[in-house]
Amino acid sequence: MSPEAVPSLDPVQRTSLSDQVVERLRTEISEGRWPVGQRIPPEPELMASLGVARGTLREALRALQYSGMLEIRRGDGTFVRARSEVPGALARSGASLRDVLEARRALEPQLARLAAERATPEDTDRIAGALAARAAASDAEWVESDVAVHEAIARAAHNPILFEVYTALLPRLHESMRSAQQREGFCRDEPRGHDDVLAAIARRDPDAAAASAEENLAATAVWDAESSAPHTAE
């Protein structure tokens, strides 16, 4: 190939110091050394460890907050919100409840099926505990407790890839359920996809577990369509 035939390429840009810090922090999170929900080390400790100034560190923290991986709580510290940027992308996507339901229908029945095949006694106890907390929760606490049930079922499937994908959806699930909770006709005590799934998991019935999860989502989709439809005066 002649030199004239070589395509023109832009010069390689040096990575900024803040970008390097972002990559270092992202690695700590994605590899699980800083678990979701945990507060990361304080700024002075991070500055000393990374050898950077406060401004550089804060720039990196803001970037990871925007991506959805970190949550900066003034006066309380910085906490891990997710192990990847996917939750942040989902939060910015403007997805509707219908969009979230479609994503859930692609995941939850299979997770329930796998949980019925693979759940340990500890997994079953965790789901049962989450369901008990859900039943006892006040309206203000209910969405968090409902999401915890779904997370416990997903964990019991023992598929790390599916679990990672599903947990990335949880912040969007939380948001959609919070919105749905404010609408007329919302039912917080649906046994399908919850108590019935646990019963199927406990008796090792994958088909019943998957069917219960699917029935719950189908019923929610019907309710969403009906409650969203414009009402005309008779």
What b-and-e string marks burial along 114-149, b requiring 16 or more CB atoms within 10 Å of the CB?
Answer: bbbeebeeebbebbbebbebbeebeeeebbebbbbb
DSSP label at 5? G
Beta-carbon contacts of 202 under 8 Å, excluding residues fewer than 6 positions away, are 124
pLDDT at 5: 54
pLDDT digits (tens, 9 = 90+) for 93-144: 666 667 878 888 999 999 999 999 999 999 999 999 999 998 998 888 888 8
Sheet strands (E) in 39-148: 70-73, 77-80
pLDDT at 233: 44
Instruction: Give Cα separations from 139 to 6, 42, 97, 100, 193 (angstroms).
Output: 65, 34, 19, 21, 19
Q: Check if the beta carbon of residue 111 is closer than 8 Å to that of residue 162.
A: yes
pLDDT at 187: 65
pLDDT at 232: 46
- Virtual torsion, Cα 225, 230, 231, 234, nearest 10 deg: -120
Q: Around 85, how many Cα atoms within 13 Å sit in the side-chain half-sphere? A: 10
Q: Check if the beta carbon of residue 131 is closer than 8 Å to that of residue 149.
A: yes
pLDDT at 13: 52
pLDDT at 191: 66
Q: Check if the beta carbon of residue 113 is closer than 8 Å to that of residue 206.
A: yes
What number of residues does the chain have? Answer: 234
> And the tokens for 132?
């008990």
| Separation of alpha carbons 117 and 135, rounded Å | 26
Residue with token string 């945990």: 38
Those residues of the chain that have pLDDT short of 70 are 1-15, 87-97, 184-188, 191, 193, 226-234
Beta-carbon contacts of 216 under 8 Å, excluding residues fewer than 6 positions away, are 190, 192, 193, 194, 197
